[in-house]
Amino acid sequence: MKDYTNGQNIAAASEKEIHTDFEKNMTYGEYLQLDKLLSAQIPASGQHDETLFIVIHQVSELWMKLILHEMQSAINCINEDNLQPAFKQLARVSRIQSQIIQGWDVLATMTPTDYLKFRNSLGNASGFQSYQYRMIEFTLGYKTKHVLKIYEKEKELHQQLLSAFQKPGLYDAAIQKLARSGFGIDPELLDRDVTMVYESNDSVKQAWKAVYQDADSHWELYQLAEKLVDIEDSLQQWRFRHMKTVERIIGFRQGTGGSSGVHYLKKVLDHYFFPELWELRTEI
């Protein structure tokens, strides 16, 4: 039998600086507040797969928190004509989105039978009510005022969402940047009501088209456009995986929050956040 003792002794001797006394120092668990984080999974039923359901959705919410953090920072950088940091932040958003997309693959291991064992325990709680997802939509320019009513129960949260609803989004910042770079953007668009859902504008399409046709002269704007396309592409993949996972588990049942479920999720797949960036691809 091989003796591993000597190897263990060598390893221990080489790691003499490892800290083991935390009486007066902060630990890893304290820094991350793992006591709160890991005690937040409280199933409403005794069913095995409910823990999976809770963890997947909580992890998604943490990722969404980081998406909002990065997108707001990117907006600030674009407004300051400091695009290089914005590129890194928007690229990070795309990477985060890939993590959420893969999360649906894990949830899809739950069968219809597994889910139906605890579905009634959810009551009317639904992912449709995710306020961070709404804030992501608002930040990307998809403003739907009627959904704000869902959050009236919590006054502080409702005010936070209302503030996001009334603020210019990521694409508004990009369009303003196009105007500051000398492109002829319609003046009324630059002063538009940002609480309305953004709709395609020809002056914006022509500006982006000029950027793509002479990328060398407009390299930063070209990079910005592609970062925006990356985010929308990933978001649509996210939405599609959500829709197919729901269809796989509950078919075409109504959602617990009262939405039409798969029918609703299919409908939102048709929406474009940055329409001109997709339209011009047929023309260049």
Which residue ranges are tagged as binding site for substrate?
53-57, 115, 119, 256
Q: DSSP assignment, residue 254?
A: P
Rounded Cα gap, residues 73 and 133, in angstroms: 17
Running DSSP on this structure, what letter comes out for residue 252?
T
Residue 280 DSSP label: G
Known binding residues are 53-57, 115, 119, 242, 256
Cβ 175 vs Cβ 185: under 8 Å: yes
Q: How many CB atoms sit inside 10 A of residue 249's CB?
A: 19
Residue ranges at the known binding site for heme: 242
Both structure tokens of 138: 């608002």
Distance (Å, whole) CA 25 – CA 140: 42
Query: In angstroms, what CA-CA distances link 60 with 20, 90, 111, 196, 203?
Result: 34, 18, 20, 27, 37
Closest CA to 108 of 225, 246, 275: 246
Question: Which residue is it, tokens 């823990």?
Answer: 51
